Structure 1
């Protein structure tokens, strides 16, 4: 019986040791969780800071882009205006001449027209001047009349007013008369 009691007594401390060991094992794991939590909180703070900085940078880029677009709209015709100033100067000088002759007026108008043509060329303002017999292009020409002609149908007979394009965009179509189908 004593052997049984010894075994029970010896079993109890082992069980108690096992119970006592569990809290000891739990104790080391708790600081691990706390360390993980603090590391996670630190990482969260870093990510939040990075997010806030990125958001601020995005707002700055958006604001700068809006300012650039605003400036582009405001000063879009600056180069064209610079090219037109000499044309205006020439016209004002022509009006100041005290006793103009027909020939001096004609010469002044020709020089002013050259300045204007140069200004148009610098700013990619292209003249549309179809020749009689050219195929009618509805993207560049506006036919206001169809007239009987010996030409092929739907070709330009005469030009009433030149058209203009800015780069590849139509500013004003050429006003033409077209040949009537036979």
Structure 2
């Protein structure tokens, strides 16, 4: 029949270790005894191996966490270069729509409609992959985290730091800036 004390040691190895240490101390072996010396050497080796095991487990857990974080970042931000390369396509489609005047709208309405649909589809693909436009308006406050000041000019009726012109739209990839919006900013108006 199994001893219930042995079963508890299987469940708790630290209790077994403490029990063994207590039993050995009770025997009060002589220091000159070769068994006592061997036992002390085995204890120190056990403690060293236990310490190395704990350090190895901690290191492997850190590696796992780092790999998981890197995988998530690759999923979110892996398309950064492709998205940056597509931004000039957006700019050119936008310029094409702005360049078409009313006469051309009537003559080439199908072409202009195709450009509008292409631009809309590009924005849908951007949105699907976490790319969102930063489209400031005239009068918005300049934010250096999202905007790039291309020039500064005193404009009557404005406050210093207000956007007075938007040259290009900026874009964010999730929570990272992909490209800042290029804007003109009002300086202190001349009196």
Aligned 8 A contact 1:144 1:177 in 2: yes
Q: Following superposition of structure 1 onto structure 2, how do residues 65-104 of structure 1 map, counting pairs within 5 Å? A: 76-77=77-78, 102-104=108-110
Q: Following superposition of structure 1 onto structure 2, how do residues 27-42 of structure 1 map, counting pairs within 5 Å? A: 30=30, 33-42=33-42
- TM-score normalised to the size of structure 2? 0.51
Relative distance call for 1:47 and 1:146 in structure 2 (3 A) is same
Q: Following superposition of structure 1 onto structure 2, how do residues 12-31 of structure 1 map, counting pairs within 5 Å? A: 30=30
Alignment gaps of 5+ in structure 2: 1-27, 90-106
RMSD of the alignment, in Å? 4.1
How many Å apart are 1:146 and its aligned residue? 0.8
Q: Provide the residue aligned with 1:44 in structure 2.
A: 44
Give me the whole-angstrom Cα distance separating, in 1, the residues matched to 2:120 and 2:172.
18
- Which structure is larger by alpha-carbon Rg, 1 or 2? 1
How many Å apart are 1:138 and its aligned residue? 3.0
Q: Provide the residue aligned with 2:145 in structure 1.
A: 139
How many Å apart are 1:59 and its aligned residue? 5.6
Alignment gaps of 5+ in structure 1: 1-27, 89-100
The count of residues paired between Structure 1 and Structure 2 equals 139
Give me the whole-angstrom Cα distance separating, in 2, the residues matched to 1:153 and 1:166.
29
Give me the whole-angstrom Cα distance separating, in 2, the residues matched to 1:169 and 1:78.
12
1:118 to 111, 114, 124: 124
SS at match of 1:164: strand
